[in-house]
Amino acid sequence: MSKVDLSVQTLLENDDVHLEPVNKRIKVYQLPDRVTEEEMEELSQTALENDCDKIIFYVRANQKETSIAEELSFIYEGEIRGFFQGEDALIYARYLNPARSRAGTGNVIPRLKELDIVEQTGDKPLPEGYEIRWADEQDADEMAALYQEVFPKYPTPIHDPGYIRQLMREHVYFSLIHDRKQLVSSCSADLFPEFNAAEFTDCATLPSHRGKGLLSCQYPQLEGKMKQLGVQTMFSYTRAASMGMNIIAKQQGFTFGGCMIQNSMIGSGLEDMNIWFKAL
């Protein structure tokens, strides 16, 4: 992702605006107390000039931004409790193309609610023959190949080993599982130091090794690391149509927080993403 040149904007005076061209969206992590429609139109114009037709706003639930969001006709999509240093974040969207606001079919949440899913407690043992460890920069080439095989499209340039190395230098912790010497599963915790929150993300397992609970073995390792760092909240965005990833979130004690429509370029194209959060 890259940051919008804020010299073009009168909306914000900080660097909490991120341009994400692959996902055709702009993220605004914090709003000032007062925002005018003219300032919003300026941001919308910047988005369109960069081929983005969705703007996402993370606003503090206990501050004036909530009423601002309602006054400016933002669409509420969900929440992450505890996102801002323990304070709740409400997630709103402004769609610049009506077609972008149409939810897809196949969100698994209604079916998930019908299942009796038991929360996992304690560490889950790895299947025989598998080994788990932290990634380092020497693993980047192998990791990029894994992500390329699992995800032909992805919201970030995770297919680039150089990008993976950059992430490792910028508060992202990767957990890896090998079957003998072959990398078969990878996931990460992306730390947001300014908010004291971390995202459980970049989850990929080779098709031939799925159904063995490998990600369920990795998540506790990542959570333990985040607790050591004093992180208050973990959150995750899962593909709305993926029963497996939503089950894992539920099993790991996450709470469903809503759905972000046509949010991320993954799989076959822009997909809806379910929001999950967990207090550590």
pLDDT tens track for 167-200:
999 999 999 999 999 999 999 999 999 999 999 9
Task: Please enumerate in sequence order all residues whose Cβ is within 8 A of that of 16, keeping only pairs 6 or more positions apart, or say none.
Answer: 28, 29, 30
CATH of 113-279, one of 3.40.630.30, 3.30.565.10, 3.10.129.10, 2.30.38.10: 3.40.630.30
CA angle 36, 40, 45 (to 5 degrees): 145
The predicted pLDDT at position 15 comes to: 64
pLDDT digits (tens, 9 = 90+) for 127-155: 999 999 999 999 999 999 999 999 999 99
Is the fold of 2-98 the same as that of 113-279? Answer: yes
Q: Is the pTM of this model over 0.85?
A: yes
Distance CA(151)–CA(96), nearest Å, equals 27
CATH number of 2-98: 3.40.630.30
Q: Would the pLDDT of 81 be above 80? A: yes
Q: Rounded to a whole number, what is the distance in angstroms from the first to the last CA of the chain? A: 27
- Say what angle helices 161-168 and 140-150 make with each other, to 10 degrees: 120
Distance CA(268)–CA(47), nearest Å, equals 23
pLDDT digits (tens, 9 = 90+) for 29-75: 987 777 778 888 888 998 999 999 999 999 998 776 677 777 787 99
Could you tell me how far CA 242 lies from the centroid of its own chain?
15
Q: pLDDT class for 252, splitting at 50, 70, 90? A: very high
Instruction: Give domain limits for the chain.
Output: 2-98, 113-279
Percentage with pLDDT > 70 across the chain: 94
